[in-house]
Structure 1
Amino acid sequence: MTREQFRPADHPHDHFLLTTVVGSYPKPKWLHRARDLWNDDESKVDDEDFEEAKDDASRLITKEHERAGIDAVVDGEMRRNEMVEYFAHRIDGCECNGPVKVWGHNYFDKPSVVEEISYAEEWLVSEYEFTSTVTEQPVKVPITGPYTLANWSFNEVYNSETDLAYEFADLVNEEVEQLVEAGARYIQIDEPALATTPDDHAIVGECLERIVDGIPEDVRIGLHVCYGDYSRIYPEILEFPVHEFDVELCNGDYEQLDVFTEHEFTKDLALGVVDVHDKEVESVDQIKENIKKGLEVVPPEQLTVSPDCGLKLLPRDSAYQKMENLVTATREVEADLDAGEIEYGNPTVPADD
């Protein structure tokens, strides 16, 4: 099992539920100010100043995750401006020409693929190496997946979006190989587009096959899929070459939990137990009840505990308190499991007859 490498040496319980976060976290206000000044031609803030600001923010937020007690931490994606644009700027053949309205009053700089794409520079290796120097905790690396990169870009070159997704997958494989060489052992592929176009799960599966090609078996690969109709991709996603599926169920009050009990869940389940769309902080007792819902699907050795999605849209104090309560609840559930006070197990799957 790839999860045991993340168990702390001084873990107080026999049972171990891995705690982590999905990725993003609220940026300090001063980091937004530093970016504004860096973009201002009349400002004296230069590239070196802005890099120092991002280093400071990364160090601060990583320590915040560590202080909350998270087992596998992330730096909150302090260096990233947006989950597709960030990568497009580092891929030859992509260009960004201005913001596109996506919903409500939200915009993002949608990339255009104007030439055959190629791997131009590392994307996250420096980020991973820096984060690893400021924490003693294992560091997880979230990467936007190739299907989402293709789906959220204008395709002006390739015959189909599918062809473009496969090309992006080969580039993600290159980046993952470099991350592994740098020491990364926990990599999460983010595919929010799969929730909106679930009929393409076979394409995502092929992309993942390309991504993990040549990657050592001890490297934990997770797949995060945002809220959607999971019945349209489950149980087919169990064929994907990943160790862990991260799903967003708390925001929907676990109405889709039974989707995952109709067939044996043979992978690890990363269950969202706090709502990232509500600044109200869940109590420890409430989170414990949410964790127990995961135990209706998988046994403890297959359960990872996390927020529903990235925390970046929350006030920072709410985001931190949710993480801290998440960890406290998880450790209490572990103690209850050790004491035999919690029963768990997949409900009996109905027979075909």
Structure 2
Amino acid sequence: MQTHILGYPRIGSNRELKKACEQYWTGKIDVNGLLETGKTIKNKHWKLQQEAGIDLIPCNDFSFYDQVLDMTLTLGAIPERYREIAARKHETDLYFAMARGFQKESMDITAMEMTKWFDTNYHYIVPEFQKDQEFSLFSEKIIEEFTDAKEAGIRAKPVMIGPVTYLLLGKEKEEGFDKLDLADKLLPVYLQILKELENQGAEYIQFDEPFLALDLSEKAKETYQWVYAEIRKHFPDLKLILATYFEGLNDNLTLASSLSADVLHIDLVRCPEQLDDVLQAVPETLSLSLGIVDGRNIWKNDFGKSLNFIEKTIQKIGSERVLIAPSCSLLHIPADLDAENNEEILSGEIRQWMAFAKQKVNEIVTLSKLASGDTDENTQQQFDDNRRAIEKRRISTLIHNHDVKDRVEVTTEEDAKRSSPFKARKRSQQDILQLPLFPTTTIGSFPQTKEVRNWRSKFKKGELNADEYDALLKQETERTIRWQEDIGIDVLVHGEFERNDMVEYFGEQLAGFAFTQNGWVQSYGSRCVKPPVIYGDVHRPAPMTVYWSEYAQSLTKKWVKGMLTGPVTILQWSFVRDDQPRSLTCKQIALAIRDEVTDLEKAGIRIIQIDEPAIREGLPLRTSEWQNYLKWAIEAFRISASGVEDATQIHTHMCYSEFNDIIQNIADMDADVITIECSRSQMELLNAFADFKYPNEIGPGVYDIHSPRVPPKEEMMELLKKAQAVIPAEQLWVNPDCGLKTRHWEETEKALIAMVAASKEMSKVPAL
């Protein structure tokens, strides 16, 4: 049995990649310094896997920003607006301009669209396709990384996004064609890449084709058959690994088994029940890669359960046709549990239940040895230790709280309903709030400067006492409130300077959560998050945000929003316990947030935002499973929001979501105001709300905060005019796409001043 990894975390155990990219963007290092950091990280990870005993080690799983963007650059699918940069600048600058936009040297170019990678919190850069789209080999990153690995003595397995998945990830930027029609133009470039890799001595190639685990059109199925028949015809000797993950193959099993691959990878963490069907369907020419170590969560593998899967597979097809692997790329989990050595942050009892990427690599190798009978005293000790850890977690008294369980049991449908319909609430709210047409606000956070982060660090180290830290945060909060007043924003926010992360901050104050010191995971580009760990029953021991909301409101006569993260997003953006249904954990969180919402209202906060950017992201990948998920997810939001009076206005925020297929469910959330990402898509996402005749109020984002680019007032007005053309003006709010935490003050100030000016101008423009 061989072992392999589908992909390894790229940011580095100390976020070396994040730091190098940000230094490059600010001119502190040159391109050679950036590339050298990348090379160091890659070599370290290759050697780590080699020394652990992994047989097939991935290359080209590293990326400076995003693996889909890497493929776009490789294939020469560069949108026309970047041609001048391509001609004038280094390939690396072109690459980052496509990801982040470019606004200097007399050029002003918008970034490419960004959206979520399937149902994860990772964001990818969406390929843009034209009807006459041409492809050509532009970047040779794939070949270069394979030769680098070979020179380092690594038996490398190049990893690339499969051609059909690449097309399906993209977006047609004009009407009149289907992106799948581009397959015949795309395939020759893939064949050219494969030829180069074969010439360099590549033995195995991993094609990531996760769309094989989703609902597919007949045209997509036909495209799969044609593409892989052509690849096999040209490369009869290359060993092709077809990697599927995040779901089961189900009705696509026959298709996947027929694509002339040598190895089919299946995700047995997300869909363990598919194994029996797969074993019945696979032809004798096809080996199976068993994804049995969870690549999406941080819990230790249960060796006993995994060995049952392996042994069943061996009995059916023989050990020589079995490969052992994680369920998906390890991109979605932190790098190394060995870095968690602070008992005050992560207790030893909880730590012993966990495994990060480095530990999961070792789990895969150990499972292979155990299953093959190649055991020594050390391997047997690992098995015994694993069994004890699994049992200790099962019986731990840290996990269960009977008061929380009882409260969930007595929750009723009435707890998920506002007392009056939206129209009646709107009248009550306007009587109190007295907001103008096109009211302006922001999504919540303001830039967290180096000084703010330094204060937090000093406070955690004990170099600032609580009173000193509090005074500094109050100073920054007041400055931000005064600045918002000065530029004329209608509904203010306090800036969230006391918060590290929109989920971590709440998790730190909720029972049932644990935290890591260095458990960083890439969200997009250089943006890394440190997800909390939900290990037990969740409740709120004390108010979490009331102090800062009350303080901010005391500074101004304008309304200040209370800012909360919603239950579904807290669930989605945490590492969640796997010993009970996610729906039950989500309801526990919802009741905790409900307590906070009602306390904010009692404190005089009349506008409360409960952010739910992850609701769309959490959708199961198969549409047949949507309604069950949406039922409990929407119910959880409503439980959190429904304990207030009619006159209290509830906002929610969602970003990077295609809403067409769940617009009724979004309406069922019954938030008074929803703010959404719209600028990168040029208000396309708003069409779903318009077609549905969405009854509540909407704030379509008018500028992209994921880019340093500052849009002019006129550009924002054009977006607002597009919005007003499909949504009545009295329903529209004006706001950025998302929170401003990651931006710098200079660009933030310019952009918000332009945004307020655009709002005031729009209030004078007659409706079409």
TM range (shorter): 0.7 to 0.9
Going from structure 1 to structure 2, the CA distance change for 1:3 and 1:304 (only over 3 Å counts) comes to farther
| 2:756 counterpart SS class | helix
**1:195 paired residue number:** 616
**Structure 1 contact 115–157 (Cα < 8 Å) conserved:** no
Going from structure 1 to structure 2, the CA distance change for 1:290 and 1:105 (only over 3 Å counts) comes to closer
Q: Output aligned runs, 1:16-55, within 5 Å.
A: 16-40=437-461, 43=463, 45-55=464-474
| Residue 223, structure 1, aligned to residue 644, structure 2 | no
Rounded to whole Å, the distance in 1 between the matches of 2:693 and 2:483 is 36
| 1:327 counterpart SS class | helix
**Alpha-carbon displacement from aligned partner over 1:223-262 (angstroms, at most 9, x marks no partner):** 1111122223213311222111111010222233322222
Residue in structure 2 matching 1:5, options 422, 428, 432:
432
In the TM superposition, residue 314 of structure 1 has moved relative to its aligned partner by 1.8
**1:165 paired residue number:** 586
TM-score by length of 1: 0.88
| 1:235 counterpart SS class | helix
Going from structure 1 to structure 2, the CA distance change for 1:175 and 1:310 (only over 3 Å counts) comes to same
Which AA in structure 2 matches 1:24? S
| 2:586 counterpart SS class | helix
Greater mean deviation of Cα atoms: 55-64 or 32-41: 32-41
**Structure 2 contact 597–643 (Cα < 8 Å) conserved:** no
**1:101 paired residue number:** 521
Point out the structure with the larger helix share: 2
In the TM superposition, residue 3 of structure 1 has moved relative to its aligned partner by 4.3
**Alpha-carbon displacement from aligned partner over 1:144-190 (angstroms, at most 9, x marks no partner):** 00011112223337611111111111111100000000011111111
**2:555 paired residue number:** 134
**1:311 paired residue number:** 740
Residue in structure 2 matching 1:60, options 451, 455, 479:
479
Q: Output aligned runs, 1:224-263, within 5 Å.
A: 224-263=653-692
| Residue 178, structure 1, aligned to residue 605, structure 2 | no
Going from structure 1 to structure 2, the CA distance change for 1:3 and 1:272 (only over 3 Å counts) comes to farther
Rounded to whole Å, the distance in 1 between the matches of 2:442 and 2:503 is 19
**Structure 1 contact 226–309 (Cα < 8 Å) conserved:** yes
| 1:31 counterpart SS class | helix
**1:348 paired residue number:** none
Going from structure 1 to structure 2, the CA distance change for 1:190 and 1:132 (only over 3 Å counts) comes to same
Residue in structure 1 matching 2:721, options 292, 297, 313:
292
Which AA in structure 2 matches 1:208? F
Rounded to whole Å, the distance in 2 between the matches of 1:272 and 1:209 is 24
**Structure 1 contact 288–333 (Cα < 8 Å) conserved:** yes
Rounded to whole Å, the distance in 2 between the matches of 1:289 and 1:107 is 33
**2:544 paired residue number:** 123
Rounded to whole Å, the distance in 1 between the matches of 2:707 and 2:516 is 33
**Structure 1 contact 101–107 (Cα < 8 Å) conserved:** yes
Greater mean deviation of Cα atoms: 221-230 or 190-199: 190-199
Rounded to whole Å, the distance in 1 between the matches of 2:458 and 2:638 is 42
Which AA in structure 1 matches 2:460? N
| 2:680 counterpart SS class | helix
**1:267 paired residue number:** 696
In the TM superposition, residue 35 of structure 1 has moved relative to its aligned partner by 2.0
Which AA in structure 1 matches 2:433? F
Rounded to whole Å, the distance in 1 between the matches of 2:648 and 2:564 is 14
Which AA in structure 2 matches 1:325? A
Rounded to whole Å, the distance in 2 between the matches of 1:278 and 1:101 is 20
Greater mean deviation of Cα atoms: 178-187 or 101-110: 101-110
Deviation above 6 Å: which 4+ runs of structure 1?
none
Rounded to whole Å, the distance in 1 between the matches of 2:528 and 2:707 is 21
**Structure 1 contact 224–245 (Cα < 8 Å) conserved:** yes
Going from structure 1 to structure 2, the CA distance change for 1:3 and 1:293 (only over 3 Å counts) comes to farther
Rounded to whole Å, the distance in 2 between the matches of 1:328 and 1:5 is 25
Greater mean deviation of Cα atoms: 164-173 or 253-262: 253-262
Residue in structure 1 matching 2:642, options 189, 213, 224:
213
Q: Output aligned runs, 1:270-349, within 5 Å.
A: 270-337=699-766, 342-343=767-768
In the TM superposition, residue 106 of structure 1 has moved relative to its aligned partner by 4.1
**1:12 paired residue number:** none
Which AA in structure 2 matches 1:183? G
**Structure 1 contact 251–308 (Cα < 8 Å) conserved:** no
Percent of aligned positions that are identical: 26
| 2:564 counterpart SS class | strand
Going from structure 1 to structure 2, the CA distance change for 1:39 and 1:286 (only over 3 Å counts) comes to same
TM-score by length of 2: 0.42
**2:326 paired residue number:** none
**Structure 1 contact 151–161 (Cα < 8 Å) conserved:** no
In the TM superposition, residue 26 of structure 1 has moved relative to its aligned partner by 0.4
In the TM superposition, residue 324 of structure 1 has moved relative to its aligned partner by 1.2
In the TM superposition, residue 327 of structure 1 has moved relative to its aligned partner by 1.0
| 2:615 counterpart SS class | helix
**1:69 paired residue number:** 488
In the TM superposition, residue 93 of structure 1 has moved relative to its aligned partner by 1.8
**Alpha-carbon displacement from aligned partner over 1:76-102 (angstroms, at most 9, x marks no partner):** 111111011100111112121332323
Rounded to whole Å, the distance in 2 between the matches of 1:268 and 1:182 is 25
Rounded to whole Å, the distance in 1 between the matches of 2:498 and 2:762 is 34
Which AA in structure 2 matches 1:233? I
Residue in structure 1 matching 2:531, options 110, 129, 136:
110
Going from structure 1 to structure 2, the CA distance change for 1:326 and 1:169 (only over 3 Å counts) comes to same
| 2:725 counterpart SS class | coil
Rounded to whole Å, the distance in 2 between the matches of 1:122 and 1:257 is 36
| Residue 92, structure 1, aligned to residue 521, structure 2 | no
Greater mean deviation of Cα atoms: 65-74 or 259-268: 259-268
**Alpha-carbon displacement from aligned partner over 1:276-315 (angstroms, at most 9, x marks no partner):** 1222222222211111122123212111111111112222
Rounded to whole Å, the distance in 2 between the matches of 1:295 and 1:158 is 48
**2:183 paired residue number:** none
| Residue 155, structure 1, aligned to residue 576, structure 2 | yes
What stretches of structure 1 of length at least 5 have no aligned partner? 9-14, 344-353
Rounded to whole Å, the distance in 1 between the matches of 2:494 and 2:642 is 27
Greater mean deviation of Cα atoms: 115-124 or 227-236: 227-236
**Structure 2 contact 539–591 (Cα < 8 Å) conserved:** no
**Structure 2 contact 566–640 (Cα < 8 Å) conserved:** no
| 1:251 counterpart SS class | coil
Rounded to whole Å, the distance in 2 between the matches of 1:40 and 1:196 is 36
Rounded to whole Å, the distance in 1 between the matches of 2:614 and 2:720 is 26
Going from structure 1 to structure 2, the CA distance change for 1:213 and 1:40 (only over 3 Å counts) comes to closer
Rounded to whole Å, the distance in 2 between the matches of 1:39 and 1:176 is 28
Rounded to whole Å, the distance in 2 between the matches of 1:186 and 1:90 is 22
Rounded to whole Å, the distance in 1 between the matches of 2:717 and 2:431 is 22
